[in-house]
């Protein structure tokens, strides 16, 4: 790779780092091309991208982007999962991939101006996703409303039942 290509690569990595405020650094040692493609596809479904980077270029890009504290993770084969949406979904994908293949390891990450450890990423993966949280909130809001509507409809249902019984009794009285 020539000097001009390295400069472009550093600029591209710095731009990628600047485009999001959540990313995870992983050691991709041992995964095959097919597994990497599968991981990329799963991450893409969660609104994330996965790119293998060269550590020396990544260090320069971190410096250029003004990001500090990640240099310690730039040892060995490194790939970055850039999260563009919910940070929990990609963390879950990475955790599940590690459980399935035992070939990937999380080095750490960056979460909204904070460097996070591999343990922090694992704890983040244990949280519910944004969609799950929204569903719980909507369920929590709608349950009392449903209950209120049910209580308000109770007297009307009772009246309809009583009127139905009165009509039935009148029908039996006329037939007798």
Asked if residue 136 and residue 114 are part of one domain, the reply reads no
Per-residue pLDDT, 5: 87
CATH of the domain at 30: 3.30.70.1730
Asked if residue 145 and residue 99 are part of one domain, the reply reads no
Asked if residue 63 and residue 79 are part of one domain, the reply reads yes
Per-residue pLDDT, 96: 92
Q: Which domain holds residue 138?
A: 128-176
Asked if residue 134 and residue 110 are part of one domain, the reply reads no
CA 97 vs. chain centroid, Å, equals 14
Residue 41 has pLDDT above 70, yes or no: yes
Asked if residue 57 and residue 93 are part of one domain, the reply reads yes
Per-residue pLDDT, 38: 92
Task: Kindly state the percentage of the chain with pLDDT values over 90.
Answer: 17
Task: Kindly state the percentage of the chain with pLDDT values over 70.
Answer: 99
Task: Measure the CA–CA gap between 43 and 124, rounded to whole angstroms.
Answer: 15
Per-residue pLDDT, 40: 92
Residue 53 has pLDDT above 70, yes or no: yes
Per-residue pLDDT, 173: 76
Asked if residue 166 and residue 96 are part of one domain, the reply reads no
Task: Measure the CA–CA gap between 171 and 51, rounded to whole angstroms.
Answer: 79
Residue 1 has pLDDT above 80, yes or no: no
Please report how many Cα atoms fall inside a 13 Å half-sphere around the Cα of residue 121, on the Cβ side.
Answer: 26
User: Considering the chain, what is the average pLDDT of its residues?
Assistant: 85
Asked if residue 34 and residue 120 are part of one domain, the reply reads yes
Q: Report pLDDT digits (tens) over 94-120.
A: 999 999 988 889 999 998 888 888 888
Beta strands in 85-145 (DSSP E): 105-111, 115-117
Residue 150 has pLDDT above 80, yes or no: no
**pTM exceeding the 0.85 threshold for the entire prediction:** no
Per-residue pLDDT, 158: 77
> How many domains are there within the chain?
2
Asked if residue 78 and residue 20 are part of one domain, the reply reads yes
Asked if residue 110 and residue 133 are part of one domain, the reply reads no
Residue 176 has pLDDT above 70, yes or no: no
């Amino acid at each position: 790779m020539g000097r001009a290509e390295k400069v472009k690569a550093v600029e591209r990595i710095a731009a990628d780092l600047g485009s999001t405020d959540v990313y995870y650094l992983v050691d991709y040692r041992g995964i095959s091309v097919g597994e990497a493609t599968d991981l990329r596809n799963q991450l893409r479904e969660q609104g994330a991208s996965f790119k293998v980077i060269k550590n020396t270029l990544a260090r320069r890009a971190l410096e250029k982007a003004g990001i500090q504290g990640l240099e310690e993770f730039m040892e060995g084969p490194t790939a970055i999962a850039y999260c563009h949406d919910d940070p929990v979904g990609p963390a879950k994908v990475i955790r599940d991939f590690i459980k399935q293949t035992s070939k990937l390891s999380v080095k750490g990450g960056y979460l909204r101006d904070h460097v996070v450890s591999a343990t922090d990423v694992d704890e983040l993966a244990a949280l519910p996703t944004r969609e799950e949280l929204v569903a719980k909130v909507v369920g929590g809001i709608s349950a009392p409303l449903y209950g209120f509507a049910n209580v308000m409809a109770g007297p009307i249902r009772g009246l309809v039942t009583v009127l139905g019984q009165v009509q039935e009794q009148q029908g039996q009285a006329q037939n007798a």
